[in-house]
Structure 1
Amino acid sequence: MTLPSVDTQVDYPAGLTRTTATVLHVEPQADGRVAVLLDATPVHPVDAGWPDQGPDRAVLRVAGAELTVLDCIVGATDGSALHRGRDIPVPKGTPGWAFVVVHLVEGAALVDGAALAEGQTVEVVVDADYRHRMSAGHTACHLAALALNRALADRWKKEVRADSLGHPDFDGTAIDVSLIRENGSVDTYRLGKSLRRKGFAAEGVAEHLAGIESAVNAALAEWVATGASVRIDRDGPLLTDRRYWVCELPAHSVRIPCGGTHVSSLDELGAVRVALSTSEVDGTTVLTMETVVG
């Protein structure tokens, strides 16, 4: 079976949770699952480069059967082999490579009258409630990062790149790990020597944590109360096309590169709060921000 030569068309940036697609490739995997490639999909996959948001929950409906999507990840092919996740040997956009959404289903399920074949039509259905909870968590994560940048703005001794609101981008500079979860997120930042050399005054952060947390939560309450609209702008419909989270705050339109899913309005969040904490990891102070929606 021929592997795709073009990137997958992705429908999740437009908020879609259901579509009809054509099967392009079906490939058994060493772990017993089967990789299914479609020409288009509404299923959000895990990105190997920045796996902050996990896969959607979804099913493939075909030939009267329903196949659960056990996992969904970004893959790539040069036409000779399919590579998944961290096994992809080239960066996105490399000429001669197609970047695809890999839907992994249980291999045994294909035996029960649902054998997938190239050219077959399938209905792809995403769990809309789960998507919404993850989208709320991702939107809140961006807002919290902007609020944290504002709260820490006076701690910079050198000029660094600014965020969309004009504040020094602490989040983009210090982020170590970001994990989006249902109605929330957890972000960790390393306050080490590298950050200090860039001009951040890390001394006293732990002692002033309560005040910083209060400032972040005040900003979040202010922004959420506006009910600002949220959208995803994109350069095109394909997996590798650049996408941006845009939030139309009253005083400023915020635009951040992002490949995840989001709510359409801050009204959908209800309330957003963060809790900040610090710990020592291998001699380096680590700041953790836990964000909760609702």
Structure 2
Amino acid sequence: MDTQVTYPRGVVDGTSQVIKTVPLDDGYGVITRETPFHPLDHTWPDQPADRGTVNGLPVVDCVTGASDGTHLYVGEEIPVRRGVDGWDWLVVHVLEEPVAGEAELIVDGAYRAALSAGHTACHLTALALNAALADRWRKEAPLDSLGRPDFDQAAIATSRIMEYGSHDVYRLGKSLRKKGFDAEDLDLARLAGLIDDQLEEWIEADAPVRVDSPSPSLVARRMWTCSLPEGAASIPCGGTHVSRTSELGSVRVSLSLRDAELTMRTTVGSLLRSTT
């Protein structure tokens, strides 16, 4: 069966039965029935894996695995798309030593909190970017959950979550122009100011944040939801998050443009850092 995960609810520890330990090139892959550990996603590796321990042993990596019943595939080795029927989808804790029996799983809470802050800020800045660029569209475009043209989804190339921040790259090439987006003469300073102002409003609103999931299965389709003053914002997401926007303290962005790529760097302020 799929690994049952508790990290969408913010859980950082637990005990569970080890169902399998397999040798890997860089150690042993320990699979438990349930885990609080967030693994690196092999299809969209935006949020890094959690750190922590299993039975006191350091978790040197935590990755997504899939088994067809005869062989365990790990990370980029997985030959089928995420969630396909007939496969078990697993969290693989990579340790330097094998583990059996009952396992105590403890996530590094401070590191998790830092990544959660970065991930929530990433989603908020994406929505603020959509709003700031709404008047740049010359054709109808798919809308985000707040009713603005979804530039983030149309142009995103890579997204990486970091401790208290994120790094997102958007392509502004021919494909996006054909969809109706006007990328000429972008005023990056003005754009960053609009985004920062919107973020400040949303943080001051102390909006609640949650992750909705139909089941605890690793591959259940989870949704990040934030009850903003404009309405309920939602984005498909398999990561971890803070519980309220006010926990971020402040969020600022910096923008750069090179070779038809717009890069947005997001930084969370000092409030949450001081508590972790």
Instruction: Provide the TM-score with structure 1 as the length reference.
Output: 0.90
* Letter in structure 1 aligned against 2:93: H
For the pair shown, the structure with the greater C-alpha radius of gyration is 1
CA deviations on 1:119-175 (whole Å, 9 max, x unpaired) are x00110001111001000000000000000000000001111100111000001100
Moved beyond 2 Å, runs of 4+? none
Match of 1:277 among 256, 261, 273: 256
1:124 aligns with 105
Give the counterpart letter for 1:162 in structure 2. L
Is residue 55 of structure 1 aligned with residue 45 of structure 2?
no
Show the 5 A alignment for 1:11-90: 11-31=6-26, 33-61=27-55, 66-90=56-80
Tell me how far apart the structure 2 counterparts of residues 240 and 122 of structure 1 sit (CA, whole Å).
22
- 1:291 matched to 2:255? The reply is no
1:116 counterpart letter in structure 2 = V
The alpha-carbon deviation at position 93 of structure 1 amounts to 2.2
Spell out, residue by residue over 1:150-202, the C-alpha distance to the aligned partner (whole angstroms, 9 max, x if none).
00000001111100111000001100110000000010101000000111001
Show structure 2 runs of 5+ residues with no match.
270-276
User: Secondary structure at 1:19's aligned position in 2?
Assistant: strand
- 1:116, 1:155 → 2: CA distance? 55
Aligned to 1:232: 211
Q: Which of 61, 86, 97 is residue 96 of structure 1 equivalent to?
A: 86
Give the equivalent residue in structure 2 for 1:3: none
Whether the 8 Å contact between 2:49 and 2:62 is mirrored in structure 1 is: yes
Correspondence for 2:272: none
Q: What amino acid is aligned across from residue 16 of structure 1 in structure 2?
A: V
TM-score, normalised with respect to structure 2 = 0.96
Q: What SS is found at the alignment partner of 2:118?
A: helix
Instruction: Supply the RMSD in Å over aligned alpha carbons.
Output: 0.8
Give 1:250 deviation, angstroms: 2.2
Which AA in structure 2 matches 1:140?
A: A
SS of 1:166 mapped into structure 2: coil
Supply the distance in 1 between the matched residues of 2:230 and 2:86 (Cα, whole angstroms): 44
Offset of residue 238 of structure 1: 0.5
Question: Are 2:227 and 1:252 equivalent residues in the alignment?
Answer: no
The number of aligned residues is 269
Q: Is the partner of 1:203 in helix, strand or coil?
A: coil
Unaligned runs of 5+ in 1: 1-5
Residue identity matched to 1:76: A
Query: CA deviation digits over 1:94-143, x for unaligned, max 9?
Result: 2210000010011xxx3xxxx523xx001100011110010000000000
Partner of 1:172: 153
| Range 90-99 or range 129-138, more displaced | 90-99
% identity of equivalent residues: 52
Check the 8 A contact 2:8/2:240 in 1, yes or no. yes
Separation (CA, whole Å) in 2 of partners of 1:51 and 1:213: 26
SS, match of residue 25 in structure 2: coil
